[in-house]
Amino acid sequence: MKRGKSGWMFVVGLIGSGALGLSGVQGQTINNVGTPATAVSFQDDAATPAPVAEEAAGCDSGLSEPWTLFGNGCSDSCLNIGGWFAMGIHTDSNDLFNSNPDSFDLSQGWLFVEKEANSENGELAFGFRFDGMYGVDGPDTQSFGNPGTEWDMDPAYTRGGNYGWAIPQLYGEVALGDLSVKIGHFYTLAGYEVVGSPDNFFYSHAISMYNSEPFTHTGAVATYEMNDCTTLYGGWTAGWDTGFAQFGEGSSFLGGFSRTLNDDASFTYITTFGNLGARGDDAYGHSMVLDMQMTENMQWVIQSDLLRVSSTGEDNFSLIHNMFYTLSDRLTFGRRTEWWKGDNVTGYAPHGGDLPSTGSHSHYANTAGFNYKATSNLTVRPEYRYNWSPAAGYKESIFGVDFVMTF
């Protein structure tokens, strides 16, 4: 199984001495890799790393406005068409997306088409979004919560060499004033990391993102901007990771809120509970994210996920610290430190399955790397990751690097 979402605890002890920082929240462009046209989720109001001013850096970065395929990320009635190519290589696999080691692969070849439902003038507005992707991340992005081979779980979508197709989003949207509603197949609200490469700082993913959070839903979700500081979310989904299908009696609530605490901090709480479909019944999960701009150059994000599924006995919890230190418009260092404790989960199995499928075990991961913007559209993301679990008895070091080109 995969995924779930969770809560947060303000625990500083997990940050190692000398840490430059950790990383970031679902649907945010934390590393400025993406363009305005590549935002892929709902939570766009949290703080992002502030770039160092050119005056402070002492020179002109030479970065121009990023090039986009069509529409230039406009938010009015025009059509936006864009995407990205993400290609990389890593030395080992922990089955958290990066599961094809020692091979330089296309992780994501992505194309989206969207028209935003812009109701700033208070009139009724309509929009839509379609996302399609191909690569070694494809099989992990398909609607594996479906009852069988419907939507992008059709065998025709899977290719050899761990490659495959996926359609992670296809929804319509209607907006009126401060209220908007998405209906169809869309990304989850929960968590900090997302599937799309440009909106993550690191090449690899957190254990919790893969095991304790859904990726997508099918249903309807509303967003209401109560005021300048508070946004509310609420809706119904047919469980977790379904694509226009319902696994059994899958029926769950998805919602929560985000709140700007001050000019430098925001807090987001997202919960999902009910029948999660293929993941199990009588379940509760939440994700809490505290995003703080500590200085002009440093961002600190604390996340915690909790998932409990009564029908299967699954119970897992995580705590993640992410930090970023921006040196210039081109270069940002980041560090992510994670503790994940879970049981009855088979999706996370380093080295092909030496993680017991039952019993509660703690797993740890420490990742450090940097983002270098070679151009406004091209970002290089090298990283070093160390995974270990005393109870499961494994340790592993993984080096990886990928290249993300947006258009």
Q: Is 269 contained in some domain?
A: yes
pLDDT of residue 188: 97
User: What is the number of structural domains in the chain?
Assistant: 1
Q: Is 345 contained in some domain?
A: yes
Q: Is 255 contained in some domain?
A: yes
- Stretches where the chain sits below pLDDT 70 are 1-61, 72-77, 344-359
Buried b (16+ CB within 10 A) or exposed e, 391-405: ebeeebebebbbbbb
Global pTM reads 0.83
Tens-digit pLDDT profile for residues 14-31 = 333 333 333 333 444 434
Q: Is 217 contained in some domain?
A: yes
Distances (CA, A) of 328 to 49, 50, 297, 354, 376: 11, 10, 9, 42, 13
Q: Is 2 contained in some domain?
A: no
Residue-range definition of the domain harbouring residue 125: 36-406
Q: Is 14 contained in some domain?
A: no
Question: In terms of DSSP H, where are the helices of 108-167?
Answer: 138-141
Q: What is the CATH number of the domain that holds 196?
A: 2.40.160.10
pLDDT of residue 150: 87
pLDDT of residue 74: 67
pLDDT of residue 15: 32
Q: Is 20 contained in some domain?
A: no
Q: Is 303 contained in some domain?
A: yes
pLDDT of residue 80: 93
Nearest to 336 by CA among 308, 369, 381, 297: 369
